[in-house]
Amino acid sequence: MNFQFSPEHEQIRETVRRHAETELAPLVRAAEEGESFPNHIFRRWGELGLLGVRYPEADGGAGFDKIADCIVREELSRVCQAFASSWSAHSHLALWPIWRAGTPDQKTRFFRPGMKGERIAGFALSEPDGGSDIRSLRTAARKVEGGYRLKGSKLYITNAPMGDFLLLAARTRPELTPSAISLFIVELPSAGLMVSKLEKEGIRGSETGLIYLDDVFVPDDCLLGGSEGTYPVILDSLSENRVGVAANCLGMARGAMEAALRYARDRQVRGQPIGRFQVIAHKLADMAADIEAANWLVYYGAWRVDQGTIDAATVAKVKLVASETALRVTEAAIRIHGGAGIMREYPVGRFHRDALVYVIGEGTSEVQRNLIARGLGL
């Protein structure tokens, strides 16, 4: 067993951390206050190779592994989870299925420009009535000459208000079976498609939309892979992404811990830093222990992805532990700050709002517990 990151991984961490602290951090306040994403960052990410870090060099990517992907996520989230959320929705949820199952033409038109940050993408799966039950989705795709007509709605879709295309799941047959669900690449804007921007409590700098599709035409060459029944690609994508999202949660927890530690060292009460009081020191000790435990579970999960041995129960454990750790640590960071913790001058309130998103999004904690219990044979 080897619990060390490679020199290449450490170099990636250094590069992303420097980028996040010098280029992204100055943009956070404006993005959060205006609830708008600075789109030019996508081209910058493309220049740095961050959008293609997970993909093979033969396909135009950087050729790194899932561990590298998680390092990028952790370092981006350590500064701003909203930016990391838009990065994730684009670089994995939208692009990964095209890389995995797309036709050569689809890879040329969508995947490669996406990796360069020239086109921004999102993944349209969730629906107003569906929640966590993917198989119950209602958006329907009716076959017509030359393509399909899509009708339905999608909710909480990251990057939709600013995107150039969406990878969208729709039902191509009425029966409630996996083979009845297919993926489509829908270009924006499209006739009959309306996007309403949503206002959120968390990840405010990441633009999220409600989508209505009223007889939207999608040509045959935008059916992912040129064939129906791509539901298994969705499951594979979500499973791997949950390990990635766990790294996002780790980054949020680490960012909140660092802020709380700075405050505990700087804030003076009765002539000494509050970190010297046992009640504060113990909070920080618990935070550090929780983060360390989550850290190695996350990167164990990433290693399992790279080994091709990941399973649903392990993914669920990784995501559950990391997201709940982020929630506890960010709340503790607010408590250490006291009244200052709910002032926007400090980042800990933002970290906590963002952490709340991830005990719900990408599969609720309750769903993760169901998957873990199923792995126990219950």
- List 157's β-bridge partners, or say none: 209
CA 237 to CA 134: how far, in whole Å? 13
Q: Which amino acid is at 316?
A: A
CA 205 to CA 198: how far, in whole Å? 11
CA 80 to CA 370: how far, in whole Å? 30
CA 56 to CA 60: how far, in whole Å? 7
Say which CATH topology domain 232-375 has. Answer: Butyryl-CoA Dehydrogenase, subunit A; domain 3 (1.20.140)
Q: Which of 167, 53, 157, 42 is nearest to 110 (CA)?
A: 167
The structural domains of the chain, with segments of one domain joined by +, span 7-100+110-119, 122-229, 232-375
Q: Which CATH class is domain 122-229?
A: mainly beta
- Choosing from 10, 57, 362, 366, the catalytic residue is 362
Q: Which of 191, 196, 195 is nearest to 216 (CA)?
A: 191
- Mean pLDDT of the region 132-146: 87
Tens-digit pLDDT profile for residues 286-334: 999 999 999 999 999 999 999 999 999 999 999 999 999 999 999 999 9
| pTM for the full predicted model | 0.95
**Comparison of pLDDT for 362 and 136, the residue scoring more:** 362
Residue 132 has pLDDT above 70, yes or no: no
SS3 per residue for 70-95: HHHHHHHHHHCHHHHHHHHHHHHHHH
* Cα-based torsion angle of the residue sequence 96, 101, 106, 111 in order, rounded to the nearest 10 degrees: 20
- Main-chain dihedrals φ then ψ at residue 99, nearest 5 degrees: -65, -40
CATH number of the 7-100+110-119 domain = 1.10.540.10
Residues, the chain, total? 378
Q: Which of 356, 324, 352, 353 is nearest to 256 (CA)?
A: 352
Residue 145 has pLDDT above 70, yes or no: yes
366 catalytic residue (yes or no): no
- Mean pLDDT of the region 62-89: 97
- C-alpha dist (Å) from residue 143 to 134, 147, 172, 213: 21, 6, 8, 15
Q: Which of 239, 230, 301 is nearest to 93 (CA)?
A: 239
